[in-house]
Homo-oligomer: A and B are copies of this chain.
């Protein structure tokens, strides 16, 4: 079973709050970065797939968690005001708001637990891992650590075997990559440690 990035991202975001497609797109961009964020052309069909599969369902527009800009002051009041105005003044009828179903929650847990993770899925899984069992979470972190250790040693091996033929730019690139990987491993070690003590 291959983990679909879009599916994982949508289910993870809907697990936190109900959202409509357009808003979903913005959140997707926030957590996945400007690059690798999905386009409408794949988001809407993905939502339709998930809906027909029973993982998400359309809900009442009034249930939406609205987007309120971070004005800083009176956040609560501003939010309430905007939520109210939207319901009355703004056409929510043309927005299709989705919520996750029980089946969707089960699917999300399954996706996070799936052992095949890579550069794209790992950050998403980690971002949503509060929705899974502690041991699944620990497994995720440890698997990722093992991958990075492997990557680090492969990188170093490559560097040693080409040593004298490396120009300064390639060398700098490879060294920087190794250092980054080392720091990623140290970061994971901290997370794993925290996970174990709680």
Contacts and interface: CB of A to CB of B under 8 A. Distances in A.
Q: How large is the interface on A (under 10, 10 to 19, 20 to 34, 35 or more residues)?
A: 20 to 34
Interface string A79-110: 00000000000000000000000000000000
A48 interface: no
5 closest Cβ contacts across the A-B interface? A70-B161, A127-B170, A30-B158, A130-B167, A176-B187
24 contacts: A30-B162, A33-B151, A34-B154, A35-B119, A69-B161, A70-B160, A70-B161, A70-B162, A70-B163, A123-B173, A126-B169, A126-B173, A127-B169, A127-B170, A127-B173, A129-B169, A130-B167, A130-B169, A172-B187, A176-B187, A179-B183, A180-B180, A180-B183, A180-B184
